[in-house]
Amino acid sequence: MESFFNIRYEFDKNKVSSSIANRLKQPGSDYICVSDGNILHNTYMNKDYLDVINGGMFSICDSSYVPVYLKWIYNIHRDQYAGSDIFLDIVSADKYRMIFLGAKQSTLDSLKNELIKINPNVASMTFKELPFLPVEEFDYPKIAQMIEDDKAEIIWISLGAPKQERFMANLKPYLHHGVMIAIGATFNFFSGLKIKRAPDWMIRNHMEFIYRIYSEPKKQLKRCWCILSTLPALLRQEYKKKRSADNQKNF
């Protein structure tokens, strides 16, 4: 793991996979955050939320721009590992029993039909809409009991950031087994409904945000403005961190 912008990242896909497998061999539960630009903004603005993000196993890098920033600042190469990618990797691997929580039931039903084409064993898995509540008001003991009765090992959460990360942190003490992964809009992308992920060429060229703005202009324009408002401070902070580390090496 490595720490950049105060977030603990695991960039290596193989280590992400082996960490999940090893954690599932142990008692207790844990969670993985899928950190994009929105999460960078929110962790900068809210120390409590940063503690939530770093309170799990680690984050994976959902932002295509964080690797660009790391190239600028540290001259190192790191890869994006988007929520959609880890979702597809785990679903298609067919190693674990999974449960899918969040989103509207109509989206979940469509998602199930689409995922069965990738992994037929998904047909026996649970897709459950969660009530629309403030994150503090969920019945976490009841949700944990439902997951344990289901014997799910991977718990996919789609409630949108920052809610879904706080949900995982709140559920963790009640859950005796499993790894939770919060994946934002990924349920929508794979459901076959109107919201889809950007084409590969846009993703490769760091233009996915343009596609997201086109698909959901009101939501995404507001989010982009928030990200841009804190980005200069985040970059300055990371530059100072690098300079400090370089100075210590020179002593």
Phi first, then psi, for residue 55 (nearest 5°) are -85, -5
Q: Looking at per-residue confidence, does 181 or 240 come out higher?
A: 181
- Pairing mode, strands 7-9 and 2-4: antiparallel
Q: How far is CA 251 from CA 240, 242, 245, 248, in A?
A: 17, 15, 10, 5
pLDDT of residue 205: 66
pTM equals 0.88
Mean pLDDT across the chain: 90
Separation between Cα atoms, residue 195 and residue 188, nearest integer Å: 6
Reported as a single tens digit per residue, the pLDDT across 211-230 is: 667 666 767 677 777 777 88
User: What amino acid occupies position 65?
Assistant: Y
Three-state secondary structure call for residue 101:
strand
Reported as a single tens digit per residue, the pLDDT across 96-115 is: 999 999 988 999 999 999 99
